[in-house]
């Protein structure tokens, strides 16, 4: 059975059937009809959904010049031991590196899990407490089960089905919020 991912083949098959009957239809019009068959207003919307589902991205000249590794949020922390308990113990992250200018100065460190990287800083000018970051990912239900099983005293996250997908929010001891979102298909 065909899905929206087969839209171009469907448009081609429709044009061929119509051509057999002596009806000439431009390919662009066939694509618009297929998009409407999937309940969308235009081929552009359907094409964007196909790109998102297959990992293809429309690239502009500026996009081609910009080679990003992704954004890395900086979260302000006030207590490195509490930060380690939370990020390493509760969220299962690892320390990639840490830096201090001198032994008794504020720490700046990177923690990660998979592709997610966060910078944690005790430096007052680096970030404001109470930041909010969205992490689009897969496996949110499994992450929820994992962290819920740890019975972390200060955070018992819920798992919510939202219009945009499955979401779990966690808040660190410093008021910084991470929203893990697994998008709905399409």
Instruction: Give me the residue spans of the domains in the chain.
Output: 4-63, 74-183
DSSP state of 114: T
In whole angstroms, give the CA distance from residue 52 to residue 24. 31
Share of the chain above pLDDT 90, in %: 48
- Per-residue tokens: 106: 């504020």
Is the pLDDT confidence value at 186 over 50? no
Note whether 134 and 181 are within 8 A (CB).
yes
The per-residue pLDDT for range 159-175, each reduced to its tens digit, is: 999 888 999 999 999 99
Any idea which fold 74-183 has? Answer: 2,3-Dihydroxybiphenyl 1,2-Dioxygenase; domain 1 (3.10.180)
Strands 74-76 and 116-121: parallel
CB atoms within 10 A of CB 144: 19
Residue of higher predicted confidence among 6 and 63: 6
């Amino acid at each position: 059975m065909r899905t929206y991912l087969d839209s171009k083949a469907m448009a081609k098959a429709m044009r061929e059937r119509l051509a057999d009957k002596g009806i000439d239809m431009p390919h662009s019009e066939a694509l618009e009809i297929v998009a409407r068959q999937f309940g969308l207003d235009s081929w552009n919307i359907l094409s964007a959904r196909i790109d998102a589902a297959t990992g293809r991205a429309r690239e502009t000249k500026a996009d081609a010049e910009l080679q990003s590794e992704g954004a890395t949020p900086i979260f302000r922390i006030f207590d490195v031991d509490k930060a380690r308990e939370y990020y390493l113990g509760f969220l299962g992250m690892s320390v990639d590196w840490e830096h201090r200018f001198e032994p008794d100065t504020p720490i700046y460190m990177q923690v990660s899990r998979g592709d997610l990287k966060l910078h944690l800083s005790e430096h007052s000018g680096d970030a404001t407490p109470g930041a909010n970051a969205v992490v689009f990912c897969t496996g949110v239900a499994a992450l929820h089960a994992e962290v819920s099983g740890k019975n972390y005293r200060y955070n018992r996250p819920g798992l919510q089905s939202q219009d945009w997908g499955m979401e779990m929010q966690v808040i660190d001891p410093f008021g910084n919020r991470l929203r893990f979102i697994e998008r709905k298909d399409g």
